[in-house]
Amino acid sequence: MLQSDLFTKTLKEAPKDEQAISAQLLQRAGFVDKLMAGVYSFLPLGLRVLKKIENIIREEMNGAGGQEILLPVLQPKEIWQRTGRWQDFDALYKLKGRDGKEMALGPTHEEVVVNLAKNFIDSYKDLPFYLYQIQTKFRDEFRVKSGLLRNREFLMKDLYSFHVSQEDLDKFYENMKKIYQRLFKRCGLESLIVEASGGTFSKYSHEFQVLSETGEDLIFHCSCGFARNKEIADLKEGDPCPECGKKIKLSQSIEVGNIFKLGNKYSEPFDLSYKDEKGEKKLVIMGCYGIGLGRIMGAIAEIHHDKNGIIWPESVSPFDAHLISILPKDGKSKNKVEEISKKLYYTLFKKERDGAGYEVLYDNRADVSAGEKLVEADLLGIPWRIVVSEKTVASGKIEIKRREQKTVKLIKPSEVYKIIKF
């Protein structure tokens, strides 16, 4: 894409109302825009990142046997009363339609999905199945801070699993732990599986936490793999690890996902049941599995940055390469730099047109100085930076650099494919 056409604008100063570095950088670099506390717009660059995260999640959920659906935001009061959560769900947004009917804005979808599943289950033969959606959630959070890390309106992937037995749930649940860690790794995040508050049907639920000083969570963790949320841990820093005896650490972290064994918590109030092989009626056993898409994006920016800007992992970067034309004033040299840049852009990097190459952002702007262009490129954080200037053109070469490295290489244009590999 031509940068002259891109709807974006970078800011030299960080917005004053944002404390988290990720929120400052994502707004300065023009990825998101704040409409009000806890509510953000995604601009073209930010939406590209969000769609890449979404596609990684979709691939992993389809791979796990999940089937994608789309459930409504507007939900009738009655189904929330059935589970007692019309009163008990603290952050529930409520509203009333002109017909006088009260509704909730979905903060999660157990009530809706169980109500739906009732029409699809008769016998044990109809189980198991796994439904997921990628849908906006709404929570009237008491405090919102940290940019995309805690919002009132946010995109979430929520999968619900339906089983005949606890054993079948346990098997699927353990598999999802592995899938979740791989998914976060694909997004550039190393996650810890952290024991958290369980419920009636399981001693623990599990959170996927990414260590970060901006995180709102506090977790005890050990190099042996043990990790437990401070909220439920009867431990203090330096205590022996309950698993291996080594000294335990306490760290701040960002929760990017969580999984719960629901058992029959929701199937009971809705009488979601099946007939087993003997024809006996039994309640369906459920699990649920959430991931916050904006949280992933915020956590990536929180962890992958330096003082100059974001450093996107290749898998979620808005573009693969940032091609920067440094245009000299002299007409003839300028034409030559433009010619070489355009050729590079249109031939080597044509993924968007025919799937053969890379996604390239081409900084073709004539009225922006070289210094400004390079500062902006660091702020935007695309993994590969390619510079074409009077100097590189004189030697028949182009300059290439990884965002996180300082050393620049001079290569022939034809060598780009050998260097940028995904």
Positions that interact with a second copy (CB under 8 A): 5-9, 33, 35-36, 39-44, 47, 50, 65, 67-76, 93-95, 97-98, 101, 105, 112, 115-116, 119-120, 129, 131, 136, 138, 140, 142, 152-153
Cα separation values, 133 from 57, 158, 231, 264, Å: 10, 6, 29, 21
> Are residues 192 and 227 in contact, defined by beta-carbon separation less than 8 angstroms?
yes
For a second copy, the closer of residues 47 and 370 by Cβ is 47
Sign of CA pseudo-dihedral 259, 263, 269, 274 = positive
C-alpha–C-alpha distance, residues 390 and 361, integer Å = 20
Strands (E), 294-342: 305-306, 309-310, 321-325
**Residue 159 CB, nearest approach to a second copy (Å):** 12
> Are residues 253 and 190 in contact, defined by beta-carbon separation less than 8 angstroms?
no
C-alpha–C-alpha distance, residues 282 and 357, integer Å = 54
For a second copy, the closer of residues 92 and 387 by Cβ is 92
For a second copy, the closer of residues 71 and 235 by Cβ is 71
- Hey, is 405 helix, strand or coil? coil
**Residue 209 CB, nearest approach to a second copy (Å):** 26
For a second copy, the closer of residues 63 and 240 by Cβ is 63
**Residue 106 CB, nearest approach to a second copy (Å):** 10
Sign of CA pseudo-dihedral 196, 199, 204, 209 = negative
For tokens 């903060």, the residue is 107
**Residue 176 CB, nearest approach to a second copy (Å):** 18
What angle (nearest 5°) sits at the alpha carbon of residue 181, between those of residues 214 and 177? 115
**Residue 303 CB, nearest approach to a second copy (Å):** 23
**Residue 319 CB, nearest approach to a second copy (Å):** 14
Of 371, 368, 403, nearest in space to 386 by CA: 403
For a second copy, the closer of residues 17 and 306 by Cβ is 17
For a second copy, the closer of residues 144 and 250 by Cβ is 144
Q: What does 212-264 look like in DSSP terms, one character per residue?
A: -TT-SEEEEE-TTS-EEEGGG----TTPBPTTT-SBPEEEEEEEEEEEEEEET
- Hey, is 304 helix, strand or coil? coil
For a second copy, the closer of residues 70 and 234 by Cβ is 70
For a second copy, the closer of residues 118 and 401 by Cβ is 118
- Token code pair at residue 55: 């596609």
For tokens 């007692």, the residue is 84
For a second copy, the closer of residues 44 and 242 by Cβ is 44
C-alpha–C-alpha distance, residues 379 and 269, integer Å = 51
For a second copy, the closer of residues 43 and 303 by Cβ is 43
**Residue 399 CB, nearest approach to a second copy (Å):** 28
- Token code pair at residue 221: 């963790």
Hey, what amino acid is at 143?
R
**Residue 348 CB, nearest approach to a second copy (Å):** 22
**Residue 332 CB, nearest approach to a second copy (Å):** 25
**Residue 228 CB, nearest approach to a second copy (Å):** 31
> Are residues 250 and 239 in contact, defined by beta-carbon separation less than 8 angstroms?
no
Q: Residue 406: exposed, middle, or buried by beta-carbon count in 10 A (0-12, 13-18, 19+)?
A: exposed
**Could you tell me whether strands 321-325 and 384-388 are parallel, antiparallel, or unpaired per DSSP bridges?**
parallel
First to last CA, the chain: 19
**Residue 18 CB, nearest approach to a second copy (Å):** 15
For a second copy, the closer of residues 160 and 184 by Cβ is 160
